Amino acid sequence: MQKHDIYTFINNNPVFFLATVDNGFPRVRGMLLFSADENGILFHTGAMRDVYRQIRENPSAELCFADVQNNIQVRVSGTLEIVDDDAMKDRIAQHPSRTFVKEWRDSVVRQDFYNSFIVMRMRGGKAKSWSYENNFDPSIEMPLD
């Protein structure tokens, strides 16, 4: 897979698993992608969630996207950054796929929303793809920066 193929795959498979570290132990949970392109892989969570604390303490993470029908998986490892941009938070809340975020934003004081809605981005990083066809081939990392 080339870089463009990886971004296309990620956008076409928006439910992914995020691995973080908590007190030396791995933690994995399902997440929902907002977007992925040359500017990074964007997703969000709430400030009250353990995942936010874990990322603040250790921003190293791995994202795993899978297409189970075609038996393909893409993992991207790198460093997460917090995107503190209220306009971006509003853009996400207005997106048709994020009605649950818009309801949250519209039900609280706007500044409380901005403080508790956390947008994260992984820029660059290294991607590895896997499929049944290449299961026994050596693993190849594709830099995304």
79 within some domain: yes
What span, in angstroms and rounded, lies between the C-alpha atoms of 118 and 24?
Answer: 23
20 within some domain: yes
Can you give the pLDDT of all 145 residues of the chain as single tens digits?
A: 899 999 999 999 999 999 999 999 999 999 999 999 999 999 999 999 999 999 999 999 999 999 999 999 999 999 999 999 999 999 999 999 999 999 999 999 999 999 999 999 999 999 999 998 999 999 899 999 8
65, 54 contact by CB (below 8 A): no
pLDDT value for 115? 96
Domain with residue 67: its CATH number is 2.30.110.10
What span, in angstroms and rounded, lies between the C-alpha atoms of 140 and 92?
Answer: 33
Looking at residue 85, the DSSP 8-state letter turns out to be -
100 within some domain: no
Q: Tell me the whole-structure pTM to 2 decimals.
A: 0.93
Residue 53 lies in domain? 3-84+121-132
